[in-house]
Structure 1
Amino acid sequence: MTRSVYITKSAAFLPGEPIGNDRMEAVLGRVGDQPSRARRLVLRSNKIEQRYYAIDPETGAKTHTNAQLTAEAIRALDIDLDSLDLLSCGTSMADQVLPNHASMVQGELGLPALEVMASSGVCLAGVSALKYGYASVLSGLAETAVATGSECASSILTADNFSAEIESRVQALETNPEIAFEKDFLRWMLSDGAGALALSATPGDGVSLKIEWIDMLSYSGEMETCMYCGGSKQEDGSLKGWTAMTQAERAAESAFSIKQDVKLLNANVIHYTVEKPLAEIAEKRALKPDDVDWFLPHYSSDFFRKRVMEGLEKIGFVIPYEKWFTNLYSRGNTGSASIFIMLDELLRSGDLEPGQTVLCWVPESGRFSAGYMLLTVTQETS
C-alpha cells in the first residue's frame, strides 16, 4: 500500500506587536547616528507595510532567541508533542554554531528522546526541513513529524552590528538605488517569525494538505555566491569565509552582517529560480498551469512580483494573479519561515476547497536554488 503524507496542522508565531515603516529605524537603531538614506527607497520598492521583531521597542532588549521563536510556533500547533517521532527544523542563522538548531528547539520544549534534524542555508532551509519530514513519514521511518522554518534576523540587523562606514557607502542612493542592496538594503527587508507544520501518514480532522511532491534544484555548480553572511566576497567572485579572514578583515567587513550582490541577483534570480527550474519540474511532474488553483510565491519584495510573472510567461506557465496568495506586506519577509507563515494563513482563511491544488515556490539567492512543492486540499468529515 502506497503511503501518503499530510500537513494536518499549521501554526505561526510572530513576536511582539507589528512594527510599521515609520518605527523600523527606532527599533533597529541608526548606523553612525545618522538616518538611513536607503530606508525609504527600499520600502517604496518592497511595499512591506509592517513586520515583527523579537525586540522590545521601548527598551531595545531581545525578547526571543531563534529557538524560542520556533518553540512558540510548535506549541501553537496544539498537538501531543510527546508522541512525535521527528523534529525537523530549518533556519538561515541559528542562535549558535553548535549544537544544531533542532537540538536547541527540543531543549526549549523539553521533549523526550526523538530524532532531530536541522537544515541550514537561506530561504530553502525551511523547505529542506519539510522535505526531510515528508520523506521520513512517506518511507515509514516516522509516523509523525513536525517541520519548522524560523528566522530571528533582527539579531544581526540592529545598528550595533554595523560599522559606521556602511552609511558612507549608500550616499549615492539618489543616483544609483541599487547600491543600497549590498549594505543597507537587507536591514529594511528582513524580519522575525517562525512557522510549524505537523505531518502525518493520515489526514487530520477538517482541512489537511496532502503533499504530492517537493522538488529542489541548486545551481551552485554554475553560479557564484550572491547572498552571504560570515564571509567577504572577493573581486574575482569567490567568497572568503570567516575562518580564512583576519581579525581586521572581519571588523572592516562587518562579517556577520548579511550581504547581497544586487547586480548578480537582478541579472539571474528569475532565470535560475523561475524559468529554468520550473520548466524542468513541470515536465518531470507533467504539471500544467491549469492544474494550479493557488500559487504561493515567496518573493522578498513587491519589486519582483511583475518579474516573476514575466518569467512564468517566458516558459509558457502563466498563473493569473488572482490565484496568487502572499502575506508579505503584512507579515514581512521572514526568509525560511515565510512559506510556513503563508501556508498557515491560507489554511486558516476558510478559502480552501477539497480537491484544490496549492503550488508553492521558494527561491534562494545564496548561490541560486529553487524549491517547488505541490499540495492537494483534503477534508475529513465526521
Structure 2
Amino acid sequence: MSAYITATGSFLPGYPVPNDEIEDYIGKAGHASSDLKDLILTNCGIKTRHYAIDKSQRTVVSNAAMAAAAVRNAAERAGLGPDDVELLSAATTMPDVMGPGHASMVHGELGYGPLEIATAHGICSCGMMAMKTAYLQVAIGEKRNAICVASELASRGFKSTRYEEMRAIDDDGSLPMETAFLRYMLSDGAGAVVVESAPATSGVSLRVDWISLTSFANTEKACMFFGSNDNACEKTWGDYPSTAAAAADGAFALRQKLSLLPHLVRVGIDEYERLLAMGKFDPETVTWFPAHYSSERMKSMMLGEFTRRGVPAGGPEIWYSNLTRVGNIGSAAIFVILDEMMTEGLIRDGDTLLCMVPESGRFVVSFMHLTAVTADSVSDAQP
C-alpha cells in the first residue's frame, strides 16, 4: 500500500513582524543584548516573522489553537469533516502544558470526534517523527487517513520578563550569546498535512516514498537545550529546590551551544551521503530540495561542504525555504514550506522532492522523499 499527502495547511499568527519591531514584542533582556541583534539577524537572513504574543507580551493564541487552525485548514482542503479523521499526530517543542500531551490538547481544541492520537516531542525533527507515525499507519493499512501537525510558540519563552531574575547575565548587563542568539531567531506558527491511502481525486498529491530519521546523540552533548543551564544537562530544572531557583539559575532559558553547530553540518551531510550510497534517491532527478535550516549562513555552510566533498546536491536554485519571510518555526517549518509550495502551484505531476530537517538539539537528521502524482497518473501506472 501507499500513503499520499493529499492536502496541506498552515497558520501564522498576526502580521509579519519586521526586524525593527522584534523588541516591541519580546522586549529587551539585559542592557546590551540588543547590540547583538543586528549581527544575529545579518547572519540568519530573516526579514520578517510571526508572533503569537502582542506588544504587551500577552498570549494572543495558544500553541494548541495554532495547531488546530492548521489542521482545520488542511482538513477542509481534503474534504474531511470533524468525524472523518482517524489519527491525529502532533508535534511541538514547548507545549502549552507539560501534561496532557500536545496531541490531546490539539484534539480538545479541534472538538473532533473520537480518534487515535500520537504526540511527538523534541525540537526541529519532532515534526518529522510525527509525520512518520502518520505515514506508516496509513501505509500499512492501519488507518485510511491521518493528519500530522507541528506547531511552535517560541516567543512566549523569550519575553523580557522571563530574564529579570536570571543571575546568568554578563557583567556588562547582556545575556550570554547562547541565550540571546535564539531570542532573535525563533518565531511562531503551525503547519499540517493530510495523509491518505489514495491520492486526491483532483490536483497534485505527494506520494510518501520513505522517511529516514537518524539520531547522533551518541557523538556530542546537547547543542540546543531547554531545562538546564549547561549542555551536559546533568542538573535539570526539576533538580532545583523550587522553580524560582531554577529560573534564577537560568535553567528555563532556551540555549544554543554555537560552537557545536558546525558538527550539525557534518553529520547532516554524512547522513545524506549514507542514504545516497544506499540508492535511496538520485540527486540528478530531484526536482526540489525543501530544506529547514536555521539561517541563511547555515545554508551557505551546507552548500559549501557539499562542494568541498564533491557530493551532488543540486544547485541552490532547487533548494526551497521561506525562512526569510516566516522566520524559523522549528518543527513546523517543513510543513509550512510544503503548504506554500503546494498552494502556489510550484509542484507538478512527476516532480520529486527530497525534504531535509536537521535538528541541533542533540543532533537528529531527517529526510523525506516525496513524488508528486495525480489520481490519473497513479491509475495509469497500475497494472
**Structure-1-length-normalised TM-score:** 0.92
Give how far 1:38 is off: 1.3
Residue of structure 1 in register with 2:193 after alignment:
197
Determine helix, strand or coil for the equivalent of 1:147: strand
CA contact (8 A) 1:294 1:324 kept: yes
Q: Which residue identity is paired with 1:349? A: E
CA distance in 2, matches of 1:286, 1:95: 38
Say which SS state the counterpart of residue 206 (structure 1) adopts.
coil
**Structure 1 gaps, min length 5:** 174-178
- 1:181–1:354 Cα change, 3 Å: farther
Which residue identity lines up with residue 290 of structure 2 in the other structure?
A: L
**Contact 1:11–1:341 (8 Å) recurs in 2:** yes
**Which residue identity does 2:366 align to in structure 1?**
G
Contact kept, 8 Å, 1:19 with 1:51, in 2: the verdict is yes
Name the stretch that deviates more: 240-249 or 225-234: 240-249
Name the structure 1 match of 2:247: 251
The residue aligned with 1:67 is: 64
- Label 1:238 to 1:13 Cα distance change in 2 as closer, same or farther (>3 A): closer
- For 2:277, the aligned partner's letter is E
1:369 aligns with 2:364: yes
Q: For residues 80-229 of structure 1, what are the structure 2 equivalents within 5 Å?
A: 80-163=81-164, 168-169=169-170, 171=172, 181-204=177-200, 205-229=202-226
How many pairs were matched up? 370
Identical aligned pairs, as a percentage?
35
Moved more, 72-81 or 295-304: 72-81
- SS of the residue aligned with 1:37? helix
Cα drift, residue 162 of structure 1 = 1.4
Letter in 1 for 2:129: S
Residues 37 and 342 (structure 1 numbering): CA distance in 2 closer, same or farther, change over 3 Å?
same
Asked if residue 302 in structure 1 is aligned to residue 300 in structure 2, the reply is: no
Contact 1:5 1:201 in 2 (8 A): yes
Which deviations, in whole Å up to 9, do the C-alpha atoms of 1:277-332 show, x marking residues without a partner? 11111222442210211001111011111111123232613320111111000011
The change in CA–CA distance for 1:89 and 1:286 in structure 2 (over 3 A counts) is closer
SS for the counterpart of 1:257 is: coil
**1:44 corresponding residue in structure 2:** 42
Deviation at 1:164, TM superposition (A): 6.1
Cα distance in 2 for partners of 1:296, 1:172 equals 40
Give 2:286's aligned residue: 292
Quote the offset at 1:132 in angstroms. Answer: 0.2
Q: Which amino acid in structure 2 is aligned with residue 83 of structure 1? A: D
For 2:48, the aligned partner's letter is Q
Summarize deviations over 1:90-141 as a string: whole Å, max 9, x none.
Answer: 1111111100000000000111111000000100010000000000001111
Structure 2 matches for 1:329-348, cutoff 5 A? 329-348=324-343
Amino acid at match of 1:11: G
Shift of 1:245: 3.0
SS, match of residue 35 in structure 2 = coil
Q: Secondary structure at the match of 2:61?
A: coil
Residue 375 of structure 2 is aligned to residue 380 of structure 1:
yes
Spell out, residue by residue over 1:51-93, the C-alpha distance to the aligned partner (whole angstroms, 9 max, x if none): 0000123x43211111011001111121323111100001111
- Say which is worse superposed, 190-199 or 153-162, in terms of deviation: 153-162
Distance 1:238 1:92, change over 3 A: closer
Q: CA contact under 8 A between 1:31 and 1:164: conserved in structure 2?
A: no
- Corresponding letter in the other structure for 1:276: D
Is the CA contact 1:358–1:375 (under 8 Å) kept in the aligned structure 2? yes
8 Å Cα contact 2:63-2:96 kept in structure 1: yes
Aligned-partner Cα distance in 1 for 2:341–2:194: 15
Is contact 1:149-1:337 (8 Å) kept? yes
Residue identity matched to 1:101: H
| Secondary structure in structure 2 of the residue aligned to 1:233 | coil
**Whole-angstrom distance in 2 between the partners of 1:190 and 1:46:** 11
Unaligned runs of 5+ in 2: 378-383
Residue 351 of structure 1, CA deviation: 2.0
- Kindly indicate whether the alpha-carbon contact (under 8 Å) linking 1:149 and 1:194 is maintained by their aligned counterparts in 2: yes
Paired with 1:108 and 1:372, the residues of 2 have a C-alpha distance of 30
What whole-Å deviation, never above 9, does each CA across 1:23-68 have from its counterpart, x for those lacking one?
00011111246661211110111110000000123x4321111101
Task: Select between 32-41 and 220-229 the one with higher mean Cα deviation.
Answer: 32-41
Q: Which one of the candidate residues 233, 240, 245 is aligned to 2:235?
A: 240
Instruction: Return the alpha-carbon distance in structure 2 between the equivalents of residues 254 and 226 of structure 1.
Output: 16
Aligned partner of 1:20: which letter? P
Is 1:317 equivalent to 2:315 in the alignment? no
Q: Partner of 2:380 in structure 1?
A: none
Residues 160/84 of structure 1: CA separation in 2 closer, same or farther (3 Å cut): same
How far residue 350 of structure 1 moved from its aligned partner, in angstroms, is 1.3
In 2, Cα distance between equivalents of 1:263 and 1:292: 32
Query: Does the CA-based 8 Å contact 1:144-1:198 persist in structure 2?
Result: yes
Give the SS at the match of 1:243. Answer: helix
